[in-house]
């Protein structure tokens, strides 16, 4: 995910995702990029008006990814289609509880009992 992708995602989120509590639209300074990996990004949105917080997971899907390279060169490459998934405050709370208890032992976490 490059800077241009990030800019488009923030632009998309500003239009499509209002604050879930007070319905205010988010401004640039209310966005924080937590992480990006491949075509996916995790964003933290903080509403300055009501202090609501949202975690948003975004995956970029290129609808014409399967087209032949030649067709792309003709300028048919469309803007990435973004899919947003809103994480609820309860899920954030679950994550906080998990992190409080997590001792950093990833090996144990991914080992079957």
Kindly list the residues in this chain that would bind Zn ion in the complex (CB under 5 A): 19, 21-22, 24, 47, 49-50, 52
- Output 6-14 pairs: Cβ under 8 A, ≥24 positions apart: 6/33, 6/36, 6/41, 8/79, 8/80, 8/82, 9/41, 9/43, 9/58, 9/60, 9/82, 10/43, 12/82, 12/84, 13/43, 13/45, 13/56, 13/58, 13/84
Output 49 or 81, the one with its CB closest to Zn ion. 49
Instruction: Give the nearest distance from C-beta 54 to Zn ion in angstroms.
Output: 9
Instruction: Give the nearest distance from C-beta 71 to Zn ion in angstroms.
Output: 43
Instruction: Give the nearest distance from C-beta 30 to Zn ion in angstroms.
Output: 9
Output 22 or 33, the one with its CB closest to Zn ion. 22
């Amino acid at each position: 995910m490059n800077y241009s992708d990030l800019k488009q995602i923030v632009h998309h989120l500003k239009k499509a995702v209002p604050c879930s509590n007070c319905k205010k639209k988010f401004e640039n300074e209310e966005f924080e990029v937590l992480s990006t990996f491949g075509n996916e990004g995790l964003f933290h949105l903080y509403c300055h008006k009501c202090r609501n917080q949202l975690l948003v997971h975004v995956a970029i899907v290129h609808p014409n990814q399967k087209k032949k390279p030649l067709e792309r060169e003709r300028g048919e490459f469309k803007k990435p289609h973004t899919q947003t998934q809103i994480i609820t405050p309860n899920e954030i709370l679950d994550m906080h509880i998990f992190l409080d208890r997590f001792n950093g032992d990833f090996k144990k976490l991914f080992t079957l009992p």
